[in-house]
Structure 1
Amino acid sequence: MAAVPLVQLALYTITVVFGILGNCVVIGVIGENAVREGSRGPSSDIILMNMALSNLLVSLVRNLLLLMADAGIELYLSLGWCRFFMCIWLWLRCANVWSTLFLSAFHHYTLHRLAPAQNHSQGSHGFQRVLLGLGLVWALNLLFSLPAYIFSKNGERNRTETLMLVTTTTRPLLGCVWNFSTPYIGLVFATTFLVFHEMLPIVLMIVTNLSSLYTLYGHGRTYSGTKPEEDTLILRRIPAERRAAKVILALITLFIVSWGTSIISNNHFNFNGGRSVEFLLTLARFANTGFIALSPVVLALGHRRIRAVVKAMLVH
């Protein structure tokens, strides 16, 4: 492995550490409120905590190990452990993508149910549905990650990867590499994951967020000064939902920029190669950590409770 430039190592260290600390703050603040309020609390907080948890796990299990490798710490795993870790890495990255989509889809669903009939008696059922949905996200992605256990092995110390998958890696780690029987099978596998786990979630995020914004402004036109007193609750909720939509839109935009950059860089390497390979893979690595590091900042700006805690931490 070529030596990593000191400036690049320093910048990558900052993004990884910032992502770990930021997501820990998000989990702590929202988790404390979730424990205190239980099913009475907003279901969106559970989804935000799940997204932050997936970000944190990716940072600890994958990005932190990459940072250690860049710092010169050499660790090489056996075949069994390589298969295990490749499966875990793939699982966490896929769950991270679909958890972010789940946030966007949930807010879209909530806006379409914005009506006077909503009351607190439905809160526990909504809470249970959210937990069930998140459970399915993690369970299904674990199932989809099993091929990583089959198509991976431990390589030699000077082994370089010839196929990059956004959902798992931008280069070998701990001596673990993909092991396809033929280049054709590898490209079919990479293309399948490119469409299903990388491009499809981004398209769905764009569609749901644009639809959410359209629905919000539709609610504003419908209820602005035209309804009797029973619609007062909705009139109060619309500004709050609009603020939430802006935060979620910022999160999804950040995710699309980060993830899209990584997709373009890695798949240019897969299908074209060329002289710019080293730059593209470096760009992909930073893009992979960009969303994890910056999403807590977006949440701190838009989430009142997190913003208050961060201000208190900065003051003291």
Structure 2
Amino acid sequence: MEENGDAELVGMGLRVSVSPVQTAFYIILVMMGILGNATVVGVIGKSVMMDRSGGRNSDIIIINMALSNLLVSVLRNTLLIISDVGLELYSSKEWCQFLMGVWVWLRSVNVWSTLFLSAFHLQTLRRVAPAIGNLHRTRGAPKIILLILGLIWLLNLIYSIPAHIFSTNGNQNTTETLMLVSSTTRPLLGCVWNFPSSFSGLAYATTSMVIHETVPIILMAFTNIGSLYTLYTHGRMRSSAHDAPVIKRVPAERRAAKVILALIMLFIASWGTSIISVNYFNYNRGSSADFLLVIARFANIIFIAMSPVVLAVGHRRLRSFLKSALFH
């Protein structure tokens, strides 16, 4: 373990040997994440800007989620590709502070943006039925949506400040002593954590795992269950009240629910796999360490790469754009 004064360099991660096939597959997933999320931001963003009423609230939230995915891919995953191809890159202390802070910030925003999409859709489903008096208030106020999204970015920026302050550049001999799930599972650009003590680093890592990993995934699971139950209730109402005007919205909401539920299930599966793999590695290192870190590495990118595909299947504007691009 390298020491810098009274502080310990922690969180360097382990460099895992990967095969050329794994590297190629990872590069493909990263490119899918960049191109796919850029398409989502561009296509849906254009439709929102052209909509004089301010655009659908769900579209604004989807743009925010795709933007966070895109930034993670560009500022984090592309650098991982450079590391994969064998280039040894090391940054100055100032660059490490900037990058480590940005990585924690973007990953945290990514998690909470996805949770907000799930929670917003559950609330939308509940507004659809059954009170007729609520029919003219189903859109909600875009300003409230933008305020909540702004708070997500601001609060997570504040949370990432310790990651910015307590970071520095290490060296090739720095060894791994702590895994920070929200930021890195392997060395990159020589950047390491430099907390005042190992306890401070452990406290920050534990807080990160609980606030930005465990709690959001549990909440997403509950919102998914709530959405499924609400849709089931709507289905029963539809069968008993065909003439109710509010029921006519149920098929559209059901289609939207399938897309969002698929997104959240994909998120839970990818991030849950990553959390289990990394924490099992932290506390039970053995012959399976490399395998677990490879699993965690791919689990982290699966959601970013595949979420645009899920959206393209269920979002009308995206689907029309892709059909036009492929067949014209």
TM-score, length-normalised on structure 1?
0.93
Aligned to 1:253: 265
From the superposition, tell whether residues 104 and 199 of structure 1 become closer, same or farther in structure 2 (CA, over 3 Å): same
Shift of 1:52: 0.5
Which residue in the other structure is 2:8 paired with?
Answer: none
Cα displacement (A) at 1:215: 1.1
Is the 1:251–1:295 contact (alpha carbons within 8 Å) kept by the matching residues of 2?
A: yes
Structure 2: gaps of 5 or more residues: 1-14
Q: Note the alpha carbon deviations across 1:242-299, whole angstroms, 9 max, x for none.
A: 1111111100000001000110111122222222211111111111000000001111
CA separation in 1, counterparts of 2:136 and 2:230?
23
- Kindly provide the CA deviation profile for residues 174-228 of structure 1, in whole angstroms up to 9, marking residues without a partner as x: 1101223333333222222111110000000010111011112212323434375
Corresponding residue number in structure 1 for 2:205: 190
Paired with 1:3 and 1:286, the residues of 2 have a C-alpha distance of 14
The question of 1:45 aligning with 2:54 is answered: no
Q: Which runs of 5+ in 1 are unaligned?
A: none
Residue 201 in structure 1 maps to residue 213 in structure 2 = no
Q: 2:321 aligns with which of 305, 309, 314?
A: 309
- TM-fit CA distance, 1:122: 7.0
Instruction: Report if the CA contact (8 A) 1:34-1:41 is conserved.
Output: yes
Measured in 1, the distance between the counterparts of 2:138 and 2:253 equals 18
* Structure 1, 38-47 or 127-136: larger mean CA deviation: 38-47
The count of corresponding residues between Structure 1 and Structure 2 is 312
1:276 & 1:79 partners in 2: Cα distance? 33
Between 1:110-119 and 1:186-195, the stretch displaced more is 110-119
Distance 2:137 2:210 in 1: 40
Report which of the two has the higher share of helix.
Answer: 1
**Quick check: 1:43–1:130 contact (8 Å CA) kept in 2?**
yes
Structure 2 Cα separation of the partners of residues 21 and 55 of structure 1? 11
Computed over aligned residues only, the root mean square deviation of the Cα atoms, in angstroms, reads 1.8
CA contact (8 A) 2:30 2:73 kept: yes
Q: Which moved more, 1:306-315 or 1:252-261?
A: 306-315
* 1:166-315 map, 5 Å: 166-226=181-241, 231-232=244-245, 234-315=246-327
Q: Which residue of 1 aligns with 2:48?
A: 34
* Secondary structure in 2 matching 1:170: coil
C-alpha distance in 1 between matches for 2:68 and 2:101: 15
Return the offset for 1:18.
Answer: 0.8
What SS does the aligned partner of 1:153 have? strand
RCO comparison, higher one (Cα < 8 Å, 6+)? 2
Deviation of 1:29 (Å): 1.1
Contact 2:104 2:182 in 1 (8 A): yes
Q: Hey, which bits of structure 1, 4+ residues long, moved more than 6 A?
A: none
Q: Which residue of 2 aligns with 1:107?
A: 121
Pairing partner for 2:106 from 69, 81, 92: 92
